[in-house]
């Protein structure tokens, strides 16, 4: 609901509200804020409301901490906000939304790749084994 005409407010043509991650932090130390913003805004620019945060690096107890303001999330989703794919995946992991299909697909692809790698290593080991010089 930004009204063009004022020099301070930026007016857009089209665009919609999205709930996405805004990156912050320093070099080699990312920190995401889960944010409801206009889709045409810069990724780290002015947002409508902060709905939570995510620390992608594990802490001293080996956990990645995420906070989600579910009440305001429900409000913005009710207002017709869209979600970015990483936001959807995170909410699927949290249990707020059903699991994203790409999470499942990603898990299957990873498993297939790992199995292929193990299969590639096994005959390679078999051929290298007796050929190892002492």
Partner 1 sequence: MAALGAWGSAAAPARLSRVVRALWGWRARRGLGQDAGAADEGKAAKPSFDDETVQNLLYKMTGLNLQKVFRPVKKELKPPKYKLMTEAQLEEATRKAIEEAKEKLIMPPVLKEREPIDDILAEDKFLEGTETTKYVFTDITYSIPHRERFIVVREPSGVLRKATWEERDRMIQIFFPKEGRRVIPPVVFKDEHLGTVFRQDRHEDILNMCIAQFEPDSPDYIRVHHRTYDDIEKNGKYDLLRSTRHFGGMVWYLVNRKKTDGILIDMIQRDLLDDATSLITLYHMLHPECQSAKAAKEGKLQGVDLIKVFVKTESQKEGYIQLALQAYEEAMATSTAS
By the criterion CB under 8 A, which residues form the site for partner 1? 52, 58, 60-72, 93-95, 99, 103-104, 106-108, 110-111, 114
- Say how far apart CA 48 and CA 22 lie, in whole Å: 12
Rg of the chain, C-alpha, whole Å: 22
The least distance separating partner 1 from the CB of residue 65, rounded to whole angstroms, comes to 5
Residue keyed to tokens 């790749």: 113
The least distance separating partner 1 from the CB of residue 51, rounded to whole angstroms, comes to 9
Specify the DSSP element, H or E, that contains 122.
Answer: helix 101-128
The least distance separating partner 1 from the CB of residue 4, rounded to whole angstroms, comes to 33
- Say how far apart CA 47 and CA 17 lie, in whole Å: 10
Name which of 16 and 111 has its Cβ closer to partner 1. 111
- Say how far apart CA 115 and CA 119 lie, in whole Å: 6
- Say how far apart CA 19 and CA 15 lie, in whole Å: 13
Name which of 12 and 96 has its Cβ closer to partner 1. 96
Name which of 9 and 94 has its Cβ closer to partner 1. 94
The least distance separating partner 1 from the CB of residue 22, rounded to whole angstroms, comes to 16
Name which of 39 and 77 has its Cβ closer to partner 1. 77
């Amino acid at each position: 609901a930004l009204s063009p005409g004022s020099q301070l407010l930026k007016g857009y043509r089209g665009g919609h509200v999205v709930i996405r991650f805004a990156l912050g932090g320093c070099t080699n130390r990312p920190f995401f804020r889960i944010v409801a913003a206009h889709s045409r805004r810069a990724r780290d620019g002015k947002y409508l409301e902060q709905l939570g945060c995510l620390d992608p690096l594990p802490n001293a107890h080996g956990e990645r901490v995420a906070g989600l303001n579910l009440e305001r999330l429900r409000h913005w989703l009710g207002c017709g906000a869209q979600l970015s794919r990483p936001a959807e995946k995170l909410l699927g992991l949290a249990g707020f939304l059903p699991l994203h299909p790409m999470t499942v697909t990603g898990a299957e692809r990873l498993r297939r790749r790992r199995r292929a790698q193990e299969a590639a290593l096994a005959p390679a080991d078999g051929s290298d084994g007796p050929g190892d010089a002492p």
